[in-house]
Chain A
Amino acid sequence: AQKVTQAQTEISVVEKEDVTLDCVYETRDTTYYLFWYKQPPSGELVFLIRRNSFDEQNEISGRYSWNFQKSTSSFNFTITASQVVDSAVYFCALSEAGSGGYQKVTFGTGTKLQVIP
């Protein structure tokens, strides 16, 4: 069975601080996908990143960066120089890789980030 753990329920930071959101996952699959999604107060889910299990290269996109450590089953997300607009709930997710692509997506419980001006 798959499981995604986001131990941080809520985080508050002051604007311009860096913040790291933790994600630890469990799966028996050797091939899988990891995701991060952002859910602003309006409710919609915004895709941030998808990472294949065989690609451990870290990725940076603007103020966002992701650290994938297969050895510790972690896929942490760092926001550099946080802004008020970053305030949202962030979900880490995992999907198995069935034939033709991934199937079910298992979400973590989310981390609510509040950036204080």
Chain B
Amino acid sequence: GAVVSQHPSRVICKSGTSVKIECRSLDFQATTMFWYRQFPKKSLMLMATSNEGSKATYEQGVEKDKFLINHASLTLSTLTVTSAHPEDSSFYICSARWVATNEKLFFGSGTQLSVL
């Protein structure tokens, strides 16, 4: 079946540094990818919708300058957490929309970000 690869699976960084998370659709083209954030024991919250070749659409309350999203190709979207702080520590998950499969969403394996 379709696979979405998300990398890295875990990252620990110092406060003030930037971290890039990649989301790749391995065997299909994804014109739309979504980025979610999940706090411990909480649900997934949609952060933004990433559209290939255009600007991402951010949900209310999500800082676009802090969470930079780039969807430069049909198989790759990246989320960069800029100047990370401990409150940005969370589990980030991407998903990709594959229109050909009756529009299922396929999820990456997630990235656990810990900011010291």
Residues of A within 8 A of B (CB): 35, 37, 42-47, 50, 91, 100-110, 112
Contact = CB atoms under 8 A, between A and B. Distances in A.
B67 interface: no
B105 A108 contact: no
A48 B73 CA distance: 28
B103 interface: yes
A50 B102 CA distance: 10
A47 B49 contact: no
Given A101-B97, A104-B49, A105-B34, A43 B110 contact: yes
A113 B108 CA distance: 22
B44 interface: yes
B104 A47 contact: yes
Contacts of B112: 43
A50 B103 CA distance: 10
A16 to B, nearest CB: 27
